[in-house]
Amino acid sequence: TSDEESADATQTWPIHAHLRSNGHRGDGLRQQNAHIRATCKKAIKIVERALVTKHAWPELNKGLEYRVEVLKKAAKALESIGPEYRDIRKRVEKDEEFATIIGRWVIDRLSHARSPIRNNALGHIAVFQLGVGDGCATRVDALLACDAFVFPGKWEINGDGKPKWVVDGSKIYLNLSIINVIRSTFFATKSALGHHFADEYCSTHKTLRERELTIPLVALAATGVHAALTAWKDGDYDKKKGDKFDGETYGEVYNRHAKALQDLKSNHGNIFHYIMSEMYKRVMCVLFLFYCLVLASLLICLLYVIRYSVTAGTRSL
């Protein structure tokens, strides 16, 4: 799809509501005027916050309708800065071609945020000790049955001689693979997406105040682990190496996990708070220790440099 608009459209709207194009698809947003860039950046923040707090695929099955909704909200929020944003909002409302083009730049950021999840999960399913071949396929089936993989557990052999993932039922979603996927995807660096919305990790409990991770992040990570396990369902990853991780393929899986967490929150608030706050602690604790180690290493290097400088200065005297 082209990022260029029709000539008729440019004659209808003021210049600050026009698109610029140099024929290169990849840098479409960067070459736009300041008002369109600001609108899109505001819209990106809106959809990223929606991913973290409401639904991991907020655009699923909504198409242009969702793009228009988000862009209108973004432009409306900027109208106090200048009247140019009112024109952009009106054009979004009335010009489907315009909304489609700039909306794609916004929605593409969601795909960029979600795309690493499956690959990250592939790197964190070693905890399940899958093996290869038929043994791997059998273990994957056992883990995917009733979503047993979301629990910590251990392998035992059942009465039929097949492997069974024996779970700790009190720790739903606290499997290490899910925690590691959340950390590596959303909190790996200080600029990672998860850190942008620290204000959202609030307690949902009436009296307990420990911070919690959000349902969409946990459900999305669980979906990523599901996808990674599915890639090994035949005992051979190469057969599914090119599988997509998108809402059309995994939307139902995601919704199932999101509903399970929402039901837990509604019916067992204490357990929900324990699970989500414990997950927050485990994700953040490792990061805190990592930053402490980095800081300690820097201090050691600084002390070494100071000591070397003092020694060198003493010798010169």
State the pLDDT at residue 109. 92
What is each CA distance from 56 to 180, 198, 254, in whole angstroms?
18, 17, 8
Q: Residues, the chain, total?
A: 317
State the pLDDT at residue 167. 96
Q: What letter represents residue 295's amino acid?
A: L
Q: Is 146 exposed, middle or buried (0-12, 13-18, 19+ CB in 10 A)?
A: exposed
What is each CA distance from 76 to 18, 81, 229, 240, in whole angstroms?
18, 10, 43, 44
Asked if residues 279 and 203 have their Cβ atoms less than 8 Å apart, the reply is no
DSSP 219: H
Contacts 24+ apart (CB under 8 A), 21-29: 28/3, 28/101, 28/105, 29/102, 29/105
**Which helix (H) or strand (E) element contains residue 51?**
helix 34-53
State the pLDDT at residue 21. 74
Cα–Cα distance between 86 and 303 in angstroms, integer? 57
Asked if residues 128 and 177 have their Cβ atoms less than 8 Å apart, the reply is yes
State the pLDDT at residue 23. 45
State the pLDDT at residue 244. 86
State the pLDDT at residue 310. 67
Cα–Cα distance between 240 and 267 in angstroms, integer? 38
State the pLDDT at residue 11. 67
Q: What is the pTM of this model?
A: 0.85
Q: What is the pLDDT along the chain (317 residues), one digit of tens a residue?
A: 556 666 556 668 999 999 987 544 445 888 999 999 999 999 999 999 999 999 999 999 888 999 999 999 999 999 999 999 999 999 999 999 999 999 999 999 999 999 999 999 999 999 999 998 999 999 999 999 999 999 999 999 999 899 999 999 999 999 999 999 999 999 998 899 999 999 999 999 999 999 999 999 999 999 999 999 999 998 877 666 678 899 999 999 999 999 999 999 999 999 999 999 999 999 997 554 445 555 566 677 777 777 767 666 666 55
State the pLDDT at residue 300. 74
State the pLDDT at residue 313. 62
CA 83-85-87 angle, 5° bins? 80
Q: Is 59 exposed, middle or buried (0-12, 13-18, 19+ CB in 10 A)?
A: buried
